[in-house]
Amino acid sequence: MRARGGALLAVAGFAGRWFAVLVVAGGLAGLVFDEQSAALAGSVPLLLGIIMFGMGLTLRGADFVPVLARPWMVLAGLVAQFLVMPLAAVAVGTAFGLSGALLTGMVLVGSSPGGTASNVIVYLSRGDVALSVTLTSVSTLLAPLATPLLVLWLAGSDLPVGFASLFESIVRIVLVPVVAGIVVRALAGGVVERVLPYLPLVSVTGIMVVVAAVVGVNADVVLTGGLVLVAAVIAHNALGLALGYGAARLAGLDESARRAVSVEVGMQNSGLSASLATTHLTPLAALPAALFSVWHNISGSALAGYWARRPVSEQDGRRTRS
């Protein structure tokens, strides 16, 4: 049993370290085995719920203390989170000539809360991990209200669904599982502590299946006209990372906090976007989320590698001297 547990732990560690590569592999699997992958599309909301429950298990009441201790920093990050990416989605989508379901899908991605992998990227970037965890958690808890309102504001004319339906879906597949995870952690902390090292395997597997399913459903679109959409997704992510950093700098946050806000803004919960699009819109509207899920893990990992070689103390010291 110990050998089996050790092997599983090693697999979980591998999944955490090679998250970006595995998500890309999921996208490629969706293209190669499109029919089989497309059959998994109906499981996307369930998979996201499992991932969100896992996220809840990693949280404790103490993780929300920074909200009270540093309200200005948290507020600045949340404003950037829910303004930069939704508006950038409209700007980028329009600039690249996207319309209809694809533009709506871009707005859905932009209006979602922070991504589940953002905390790891911030840690690798030598950023403010406590701020990152707080922003991810609070933006996720605000998502049932913020995401539907933003989507209806920016893409309302193309939406066949109202606020109530979007609100109900986000509560069911995001808020309830996260809160359930927090409660389980509070009631059975010892058991959860033993399970935590294995959670990356669950999260990575879930995201891989989500990406494969959405890409599989839209394989023809990806193969025939996906380059424009890929370019739009890359531009959207780049704007989020750059403008998130810039917004944090304008707010007077230090270098470690700027890195955290940059990653939180640029890395979205694309699984939520894919789930909402699959449930309420069309499979085509979920495609931007699937491509975003692949790309933001690549760009996030690359940015983390760059920042990891530039210590925060040196960055702040250079600014002070100048």
Per-residue pLDDT of 86-113, as tens digits, reads 999 999 999 999 888 889 999 999 998 8
User: Six-digit token pair at 74?
Assistant: 């948290």
DSSP 30-86: HHHTHHHHHTTGGGHHHHHHHHHHHHHHT--GGGGHHHHH-HHHHHHHHHHHHHHHH
Contact 270, 289 (CB under 8 A): yes
Residue 97, phi-psi category: left (phi > 0), alpha (psi -120 to 50), beta (remainder): left
Residue 161 pLDDT level (bands cut at 50, 70, 90): low
DSSP 230-247: HHHHHHHHHHHHHHHHHH
Per-residue pLDDT of 117-132, as tens digits, reads 787 788 778 788 778 8
Per-residue pLDDT of 255-281, as tens digits, reads 989 999 999 999 888 878 888 888 888
Residue 319 pLDDT level (bands cut at 50, 70, 90): very low
Secondary structure letter of residue 285 according to DSSP: G
In the predicted structure, residue 4 carries a pLDDT above the cut 60: no
Region 230-242 average pLDDT: 93
Per-residue pLDDT of 13-44, as tens digits, reads 776 667 777 777 887 888 788 888 888 877 77
Distances from the Cα of 255 to the Cα of 46, 146, 149, 238, 307, angstroms: 38, 27, 31, 19, 11
pLDDT for 317 = 44
Is the CA virtual torsion 139, 144, 147, 150 positive or negative?
Answer: negative
pLDDT for 318 = 46
When mean pLDDT is compared across 47-61, 230-244, 260-274, the lowest value belongs to 47-61
Question: How many Å is the Cα radius of gyration of the chain?
Answer: 19
- Domains of the chain, start order: 18-307 (1.20.1530.20)
pLDDT for 2 = 52
Secondary structure letter of residue 114 according to DSSP: B
In the predicted structure, residue 320 carries a pLDDT above the cut 60: no
Please give the backbone phi and psi of residue 268, each rounded to the nearest 5 degrees, phi first.
Answer: -100, 160
